[in-house]
Amino acid sequence: MIAAESRSLERELNPWLAAEARFDEAAARLKLDDGMQKVLRSPTRELTVYLPVQLDDGRLEVFTGFRVQHSIARGPGKGGVRYAPDVTLDEVRALAAWMTWKCAVVNIPFGGAKGGVVCDPAVLSEGELERLTRRYTAEILEFLGPESDVPAPDINTNAQIMAWIMDTYSMHKRHTETAVVTGKPLDLGGSLGRQEATGRGCLIVTLEALRKLGMDIENTTVVVQGFGNVGGTAARLMARAGMRVIAVIEIDGAVYSPHGLDIDALMKHREETGSILGFPGAENLDRDEALFLDCHVLVPAAKENVITSLNAHKIRARIICEGANGPTTAVADQILADKRIFVIPDILANAGGVTVSYFEWVQNRQGFYWNEQLVNGRLEEIMVKSFRDVVGYADRHGVDNRIAAYMLALDRVAFALKLRGIYA
């Protein structure tokens, strides 16, 4: 690849630039004034921390962590914390902005924030992970609080890590404060339905898309990329709803069966063998081969930058439901639009997680807990309404679903900011 091409690909794959590209287009269409654009595009606060942690063998290691609050105009900063070896500040910044727009799309009273720690959790022991989490929490303590910034799980973080964050914060405050973090274990104030909320949200908006496009559930074939909490749950619930999940894609390859995969059995197989590959009755495929399968619904539910200018033209799905944050680059958007693929953008498609995080925060503050039916019913109500808001907006204004979602979100955040005014 020549230098100029590789530079333009590097720019395309930078998540912060991708977030800005969509922001710019939506802001221009809304005719937002220049000053408001400046305020909304830049984060409110960013913190980089260096975390000394004693490893099990006695050595000291220093890890880097970030917490970015993008906006607190509509409420406390809200967003997950991810642990991964390649996390960067630009990535966390983009993810924080996406949280702002996501919370505004589903109209819950939060701003946007995100955190990350550069580490490889696969090589850390439970004790090392706990010490790292507690030190990270202590270092970003001034940011945190039920009224200021509320973390949650994201890639490679889970309910146990949220419990350590809650405990560390509470020890400093000298009282138990469950609402400082969501996605906690049920016994520590977690909400029923939170674990599967993101995947369930994907199911709800996919059903809405099928209805809108006049497609029936029974004939719908699905390819899911990523078999973690989001992809795994989405696959399971979509299969249970009557769709045929014909392929699942993971880091080490994909499995495919035109008759549909038994998702529960596939989860068991992975648990027993450590991989989805070699699943009885299914064919092993190359990752890319599976991504480009002819199917009705493609659910990218792993990481950023899966659908790019290099491969978007090969996608053969009718609907893309973005379970992950930022799986499609801004350049790829145009290619998908030209192919008339119906994209349910990440800030809508995966908003089920933060929506039930909001329910968890409400329950913690009320000290009164809801049953799962109530949680799922309220989630469905919000996801269906948000889908219709976005798609209706897209139809009315002649823009694609992603730009419609951004426009709706920007308008809401700008309006809140206008009402509050600028403190001088």
Site for ligand GLU, rule CB under 6 A:
78-80, 152, 154, 182, 325, 350, 353-354, 357
CB of 143 to ligand GLU, least distance (A): 14
Closer CB to ligand GLU, residue 79 or residue 327? 79
Smallest separation, CB 155 to ligand GLU (Å): 8
Nearest 5°: the CA angle 357, 76, 50 is 90
Helices (DSSP H) in 143-300: which residue ranges?
A: 159-173, 197-212, 229-240, 263-273, 287-291
CB atoms within 10 A of CB 164: 18
Task: State which residue, 190 or 256, has the beta carbon closest to ligand GLU.
Answer: 190
In this structure, what is the dihedral angle of CA atoms 41, 28, 413, 353, given to the nearest 10 degrees? -80
Least distance to ligand GLU, CB of residue 229, Å: 10
Beta-bridge partners for 222: 245, 297
Whether 114 is a known active-site residue: answer: yes
Q: Which two tokens stand for residue 167?
A: 């405990």
Rounded to a whole number of angstroms, the minimum distance from the CB of residue 174 to ligand GLU is: 25
Closest CB to ligand GLU among 22 and 78? Answer: 78
Closer of 221 and 350 to ligand GLU (Cβ):
350
Question: From its phi and psi, is residue 156 left (phi > 0), alpha (psi between -120 and 50) or beta?
Answer: left
Element containing residue 225 per DSSP (H, E): strand 221-225
What are the φ/ψ torsions at residue 176 (nearest 5 degrees)? Answer: -75, 125
Nearer to ligand GLU, 154 or 333 (CB): 154
Choice among 78, 102, 114, 184 that is catalytic: 114
Minimum CB–partner distance for residue 70 and ligand GLU (Å): 13
Q: How far is the CB of 352 from ligand GLU (least distance, A)?
A: 9
* Residue nearest ligand GLU, Cβ-based: 80
CB of 216 to ligand GLU, least distance (A): 30
Which residue from 107, 119, 135, 106 is spatially nearest to 201, judged by alpha carbons?
106
User: Is the Cβ of residue 165 or residue 266 nearer to ligand GLU in the bound state?
Assistant: 165
Q: Please report, as a single letter, which amino acid is at residue 313.
A: H
CA nearest neighbour of 149 among 201, 104, 110, 198: 110
- CA dist., res. 361 & res. 344, Å (int): 26
164 or 279: whose CB is closer to ligand GLU?
164
Cβ closer to ligand GLU: 134 or 352?
A: 352
Residue 320: CB minimum distance to ligand GLU, A = 17
CA atoms within 13 A on the CB side of 130: 9
User: Which lies closer to ligand GLU via its Cβ, residue 285 or residue 299?
Assistant: 299
Dist. CA 115–CA 156, nearest whole Å: 12
Q: Do residues 322 and 305 lie in contact, with contact meaning Cβ atoms separated by under 8 Å?
A: no
Reduced to 3 states (helix: H, G, I; strand: E, B; else coil), residue 197 is helix
Nearest distance from residue 272's CB to ligand GLU, in Å? 28
Q: What are 153's two structure tokens?
A: 């799980």
Question: In this structure, which long-range contacts are made by residues 320-323, counting pairs with CB atoms below 8 Å and at least 24 apart in sequence?
Answer: 320/344, 321/202, 321/205, 321/206, 321/209, 321/234, 321/297, 321/349, 322/346, 322/349, 322/350, 323/198, 323/199, 323/202, 323/224, 323/226, 323/230, 323/231, 323/234, 323/299, 323/349, 323/350
Output the six-digit token pair for 392. 């209706």
Q: Active-site residue numbers?
A: 114
